[in-house]
A and B are shown apart, each in its own frame.
Chain A
Amino acid sequence: MQKQSSSKKLHGNPLTNPKVVPYVFVAPFVIYFLLVFLYPTIATVLMSFQRIDGPTQVTYIGFKNYERLFSRNFIQALQTTTRYAIWDVIVLTSVPLLFAVLLHSGLVKFASFFKSLFFIPALTSIIVAGIVFRLAFGTLPTAPVNRLVSLFGQEPRDWLMYAGTGNLVLIVLTLWRWMGVNIIYYLSGIQSIPTDLYEAAEIDGAGSIAKFFHVTLPGIKPVLIYVITITVLGGFSMFTESVALWQQNNPGGVGRTIVGYMYMMGFYKSNMGMASAVGLTLLVIVVLVNMIQLVLMGFFRKED
């Protein structure tokens, strides 16, 4: 940093010293990080090795909380979450990509109208949307989805009673709510691809499909990585969608996610130590899956 002679007269006040000024600007984030992220993270790590019976009754119990993780309920929550996260990533990266490519292709009339419209579901709260979805996939034979499947000769079902169909409802809800957002991400990526790349590919005799795989897909790679990363994060830490469809305490544990299990442990069973162990396990899973994904996508590879 070079000295600024023009601000010399202000040097009396340390807050306006050019060497100090940048730190004043970023100070709020540093304080916020220490208070809202670092301290709670350290507290979670410590609590995960503790048995907490009251504000002053704390005993260190080593890895006991982690050993207890291998319970039926936690494994079930882990399965529910993993199943949801896998489908979430598959469906929420591919379907919006197809729509974005179509909307950008010029084949769709009123493309910008559709783009705005697909975004509207993202504005609703999951709780409010969940009410409608729960009723739509309701148990009554007259519930909309049951009426729909009966048109195809299927028996009406109890959609939310079983893990498989429950997961389907969750994915439908997520796709409905989030498709428009991912479409906008993808479109921003597609629009940033220079058009001469497409022209060059055309001269080389590439068809639409070849152009998609050799120009569009490589061109939107940064956006694709971003979308996958936030989808992995959102998929594994999903909770509100499950609350909206099943409430917080459903007997069979269908739809209970890792965060739901953590919430139950921490707030209903007052087992803070166990809940912290669950939280840290979730953190490790998310970081691990995202690191693997980023390596596979070549995020850390140097551009040539």
Chain B
Amino acid sequence: MQSKRYIDWRRTTLTVLATGLMVIAALIAMLPFAFMFLSSLKPGQEMLRKGLSLTFEPGISSFKNYAALNTYRDGIYWQWYKSSAIIMLIQTVIGLFFGSLVGYGLAMYDFKGKNAIFTVVLVVMMIPFEILLLPLYRMLIRTHLTDTYFGVVLPYLVPPFMVFFFRQYVLGLPRELLEAGRIDGCTDYGVFFRIMVPIMIPAFGAMAILSCMNSWNNLLWPLIVLSTNEKFTIPIGMGTTITPYGNAFDVLMPGAVMAVVPIVIIYLFAQKTFIAGLTAGSVKG
């Protein structure tokens, strides 16, 4: 009896300590969002004078800055938003299409060179993409693709991580499905689009969200490719509001909040597929 009580008491203490640690960590993790939101309600002048603070001041805090997003440089913020959305859409749709085709091909068939190609996929995933920026940029200049959305999307047409993920996913599907489809008179492509794609929906979901997240937040490559202000993405555009001569806080803070909102909403709705997508690579790999 004595020892059992002791263990329960010990466990309770540990529970309180562990949960307490999580609560503190969670508060710290959410702190930047609180700063961002509360600052977005204050006039830029106030930010310049006092910097960040966790206060809500009824006299001066308002949603006025959000309305200012519509008028700032003729509403360019929403232009950036549109650019980001278009690039995100093209990049995700094309990436999913090719990524699933190749991943499926690598998993469903046996053919000469298959292992070599898969090894290349793994090697490419290990290369710092940043070192290819200069030659890729020169390639865009020669093909007149600079300052175009297609130029931004080009390095992500067949994302190696998607190929890898779809391969792992399809390895878990029965190969008999292909035979059955063939007997029903489908071509192999018909089997892929009519039978396999519907089965692979969860994989498409996970990769779609991951791709949206990567594209929406991508900075370096779009920054190199795009030069017209109207075509800028949100991260580039937000960068232009920070200058050595002062920051346009009136736009910066509400702009930052509005940039985070859609992706967080997508995440909250599709958490489970999202997390499945992230972990698939590490466990089976």
Contacts and interface: CB of A to CB of B under 8 A. Distances in A.
B283 A188 contact: yes
A16 B105 contact: no
Contacts of A243: 219, 239
Contacts of A247: 242, 244
Interface in A107-152: 107-111, 114, 116-129, 131-133, 135-136, 138, 140, 142-144
B163 to A, nearest CB: 6
A25 interface: yes
Contact of B35 (A122, A136, A263, A283): A136
Interface in A277-292: 279-280, 282-283, 286-287, 290
A18 B276 CA distance: 33
DSSP class of B's interface residues: helix, strand, loop or mixed? helix
A78 interface: no
B177 interface: no
Contact of B29 (A118, A128, A131): A118
Interface in A64-116: 99, 102-103, 105, 107-111, 114, 116
DSSP class of A's interface residues: helix, strand, loop or mixed? helix
Given A1-B111, A123-B267, A136-B32, A279 B216 contact: no
Contacts of A276: 134-135
Interface residues of B, number: 92
B283 A189 contact: yes
Given A136-B32, A282-B128, A108 B52 contact: no
B165 interface: no
Best-surrounded residue of B29, B36, B213 (most CB of chain A within 10 A): B29
Interface string B4-17: 00000001001100
Nearest to A52: B138
B157 interface: yes
B238 interface: yes
B182 interface: yes
A125 B259 contact: yes
Interface string B111-151: 10010010011001011111111111011000000000000
Contact of A33 (B50, B124, B264): B124
A60 interface: no
B138 A99 contact: no
Given A26-B117, A40-B136, A133-B32, A239 B220 contact: yes
Contact of A102 (B21, B163, B267): B21
A280 B138 CA distance: 17
B256 interface: yes
Contacts of B51: 135, 138, 140, 142-144
Given A102-B21, A108-B18, 5 more contacts: A41-B132, A44-B134, A125-B219, A125-B238, A283-B131
Interface of A: 1, 4, 6-7, 10, 16, 18-19, 21-26, 28-30, 32-33, 36-37, 39-41, 43-44, 47, 99, 102-103, 105, 107-111, 114, 116-129, 131-133, 135-136, 138, 140, 142-144, 176, 179-181, 184-185, 187-189, 192, 222-223, 226-227, 229, 233, 236-237, 239-240, 243, 247, 259, 262-263, 266-267, 272, 275-276, 279-280, 282-283, 286-287, 290
